[in-house]
Amino acid sequence: MNIDLAVILCLADEKKNQPFDDYAAGIAGCMLEKSPEEKAFLQRYDIHYYIAVNPEESSIARVVDADYTDDMVKGKSFGVVFNRDMLARLEHEDSLAFVLGHELSHIMWRKGFPRIRDLAADEEAACDCSSVRLMHAGGYNLLDVAAVDALYPDKIPGMRERIAKRESFLIENGIFPGKRLGMSLLLRKETFAGLQKEPWKRKSIFETGKEPDAVRIAEELRDIFERGDRTEFKRELDAFLDGKTTEEASKIILNVLGRVVTEFPPITETLARDDSRRKFYNHPVSVMSDIVWRQFRREGKKLLPPEDLRIVSRYMQDNRAYFEQRDRKFWEPLQRAMAPEAQVKSNISGRI
Ligand SMILES: [Zn+2]
């Protein structure tokens, strides 16, 4: 998972980010109030604003697709993530408004908002122009854009051209920054400067010296479902199972699946809900899918505890739409292993 998203999930979980989210949403509201077309367009999406503490990062903000889609065109929820240390170097809310308007413009660009596509052929320049237009409509001081430019050294490729394009856009549209009377607003740093949140990382359950059992693995799957960040866990679980015989590995997997499948909303239901893509990707069945695929393709005898097997086969029948279509490839090796065992099993009474 990308680090921004990890921070988002963690901060959202702890509600520490709320004051900043409210503050930034207020600024966006001011800018969009006088830009009804942009406002109507952006209202189709769920957008929240976050602070991330990420000292290695040199950009001031970025848009993250909070739906986990690879393709922003499909996503409906977005996080605009501001880099705390970069943002803290600005003095005025008006500078923040420029950055915020630029990031919102990226969403509009990706989603094909026509008014922004007409501004410039280049996405960055178009987002800059769109942002100054929003700022101007919202009464923010355009002179404070210079403070944002000053954060970036001259040597960033294309920066000079971007600024030049923005300036000619202002002139063409009869917007003269210097003419505006009024004061810039101070940036309310108290909403974020004190946030000490390090990029959040899931703690490994495989490094404690004590081998996790199916119960512990199932607990971790619950936490992933609730808080995200499945990538490292999957890699480690796979490596852990690689260290076992195929019999042990398949038994652990069945034990885990037997536990988790009944404790969570059915995978087909989660998949069908338009607003819960994050839940779908972090659903235990989804997390376990390629682990099943890798482990059940290993050469060797598999051990399928009858009680778990019964629960899992039942679940697979009830959620056919997922197992037979969506991720069929991943589950085929397990289904193949299940078929003969299931027949044999019906002749023996539940013994393991
Ligand atoms: Zn940009």
At 154 the pLDDT is: 66
Centroid of ligand 1 to alpha carbon of 72 (angstroms): 14
- Ligand 1 centre from 267 Cα, in Å? 36
Cα–ligand 1 centroid distance for 62 (angstroms): 7
Give the separation between CA 92 and CA 157, rounded to whole angstroms. 26
320 in helix, strand or coil? Answer: helix
pLDDT of residue 283: 92
- Distance (angstroms) between ligand 1 centre and the Cα of 270 equals 33
Q: How far apart are CA 31 and CA 25, in angstroms?
A: 10
Ligand 1 midpoint to CA 81 (Å): 12
The rounded radius of gyration (Å) of the Cα atoms in the chain is 26
How far apart, in Å, are the Cα atoms of 209 and each of 9, 204, 205, 241, 332? 28, 11, 9, 16, 33
CA of 103 to the centre of ligand 1 (A): 6
Confidence at residue 125, expressed as pLDDT on a 0 to 100 scale: 93
pLDDT given at position 107: 94
Q: How far is the CA of 58 from the centre of ligand 1 (A)?
A: 13
pLDDT of residue 169: 92
Whole-number pLDDT of residue 158: 80
Which residues have C-beta under 5 Å from ligand 1, the single-atom ion? 124
Predicted local distance difference test score (pLDDT) of residue 76: 82
**Ligand 1 center to 102 CA (angstroms):** 6
Q: In a structure prediction context, what are the per-residue pLDDT tens digits for the chain, which is 352 residues long?
A: 456 666 666 666 667 888 999 999 999 999 999 999 999 999 999 999 988 887 777 889 988 877 655 454 567 888 899 999 999 999 999 999 999 999 999 999 999 999 998 898 899 999 999 999 999 999 999 999 999 999 887 667 788 888 999 999 999 998 887 666 667 899 999 998 887 766 666 789 998 778 999 999 999 999 888 877 788 899 999 999 999 999 999 999 999 999 999 889 899 988 887 666 778 888 999 999 999 999 999 999 999 999 999 999 999 999 998 998 888 999 999 999 988 655 544 444 444 4
Rounded distance between C-alpha atoms, residue 55 and residue 328, angstroms: 42
CB 298 within 8 A of CB 340: no
Distance of CA 149 from the midpoint of ligand 1 (Å): 12
Residues 220-239 as b or e (16 or more Cβ within 10 Å = b) = bbebbbebbbbeebbebbee
Query: In the numeric block, which tokens belong to residue 103?
Result: 């990031």
Q: How far away, in angstroms, is 109 Cα from ligand 1 center?
A: 10
Residue 351, judged by CB atoms within 10 A of its CB (0-12, 13-18, 19+), counts as exposed
User: 181 CA distance to ligand 1 centroid (A)?
Assistant: 28
Contacts (Cβ under 8 Å, ≥6 apart) of 175: 132, 133, 136, 142
Q: State the pLDDT at residue 4.
A: 62
pLDDT for position 352: 45
The amino acid at 180:
R
How far, in Å, from the CA of 59 to the mean position of ligand 1?
9
Copy the structure tokens of residue 299: 């050469």
Q: Ligand 1 mean position to 37 CA, how many Å? A: 21
- How far apart are the CA of 127 and the centre of ligand 1, in A? 7
Contact 166, 136 (CB under 8 A): no
Distance 106 CA to ligand 1 centre (A): 7
From ligand 1's centre to the CA of 282, what distance in Å? 29
Q: How far is the CA of 63 from the centre of ligand 1 (A)?
A: 9
Q: Output the six-digit token pair for 94.
A: 């008006």
Unique residue bearing structure tokens 């000292």: 55
Distance 13 CA to ligand 1 centre (A): 27
Give me ligand 1 centre to Cα 194, in Å: 26
Q: How many angstroms separate the CA atoms of 160 and 83, rounded?
A: 23
pTM: 0.65
Q: Which pLDDT does position 197 carry in this prediction? A: 62
Give residue 145 CA to ligand 1 midpoint distance, Å.
Answer: 14
Strand-pair category, 77-83 with 46-52: parallel
